[in-house]
Every structure is written in C-alpha cells, then in structure tokens.
Amino acid sequence: MNRKKQLYQQEVVPALMAKFGKENPFAVAKLAKITVNVGVGSESNRQQSADAVMTQLTKMTGQRSHVTSARMSIASFKLREGDPVGVAVTLRGDRMWDFFDKLVSLALPQVKDFSGVSRTAFDQAGNYTLGLTEQIIFPEIVYDEIDRVRGLQVVMTVQNADSREESFELLEKLGMPFRKEE
C-alpha cells in the first residue's frame, strides 16, 4: 500500500472527522483523482510535439496519456479542427497516490527557490490547481532527452469537501507544502 494512502486512512480521516464534526468516515473529504495537462503550444509540427509530450507524461505518471484535439478552427492561431493542442492523463486509485507522493516528496522540492505552493488556488468545489513551469523537476525526465522545457497543470479533485477549508486541511495533512502566509 502506498504510504500517502496509508497516511490518509490511518491519520488524516480521524483528524478530519474530529475537526469538522463528521461521524461517518465516508463523509470526510478525500482525494478522488488527479488530472495532469500539458499544452503542445503553437509549434510547427504539433503531432510530433504531442507524441514527445505523451512519452514524457507517461514516464511521469506511470499511465498512458491521451491527446486532446482542437474542436474548431481558429485562423489567427493557425489552428485547424482536429489538430493536437495538448496531452492529458487522469489518475485514480494507486497510481494517483503514487503520483501525489512523487509530486510532494520528489518533484516540488526540485523547484528552484521553492517556498511552497499557493494557499489560494482552490475553486468553489474545493479542487486544487497547481501550475508547474518545468517538467524536468520529475526524476524520470532526463534533460538531454527532451526537445524543450514545457509547463504542466496538475488538478487535484477533492470529493465530499463542504468548504475550501476542508480541502486545504486534507491536502495539508497529506503533506502538500503550502506557503506560510500569503
């Protein structure tokens, strides 16, 4: 069993039940899925870039990713309907917990001048969005083997959270390195 999943079950659930007055452990906020998105950008050979990003994202997450395509043509962006515009992967279960552990324990500490992640990037439903500027912070990505440095977006979907505070408490207890105060 993954150590973050074990931490959630043994320590976080009882702590959240006590803090928010929940009687049922199934009513406590939980991490449901993590979605990782990478944009291909306005490169000349979008399909080749999408293939490179797919390979990198598969290495980072341990799960095969899929290409997202343009739904309509936009002439000013030199974009045609069906052109690849990004690559995404949705993680659930053990792969989600493994990726979260890797993100918190290995990748985020690799960020230069890291002082923590934003405390305010929660939406109304309590989901957390994290933008990273470089994919090379993940240990599986070798700098000499990539065509260019790309940013990525990580969205953590939280279920059963009644407020942003509950989602924040969940992620903080799971080890998310938030900044002290903003």
Look at residue 163 and tell me whether its pLDDT is greater than 90: no
CA distance 58 to 56: 5
* CA distances, 176 to each of 16, 45, 152, 166, 167 (Å): 16, 37, 18, 14, 11
Q: Are 131 and 111 in contact (CB under 8 A)?
A: no
CA distance 56 to 88: 11
The tens digit of pLDDT for each residue in 99-131 reads: 999 999 988 888 878 888 999 899 988 899 999
Q: Are 163 and 82 in contact (CB under 8 A)?
A: no
Look at residue 154 and tell me whether its pLDDT is greater than 90: yes
Overall size of the chain counted in residues:
182
User: Tell me, what's the pLDDT at 182?
Assistant: 55
Percent of the chain past pLDDT 70, that is, above it, reads 97
Name all domains of the chain by residue range, CATH numbers in brackets: 3-173 (3.30.1440.10)
Mean pLDDT, rounded, of the chain: 87
57 closest CA partner among 77, 38, 29, 32: 38
User: Tell me, what's the pLDDT at 102?
Assistant: 92
Across the range 136-156, mean pLDDT stands at 85
Residue 114 CB neighbours (<10 A):
12
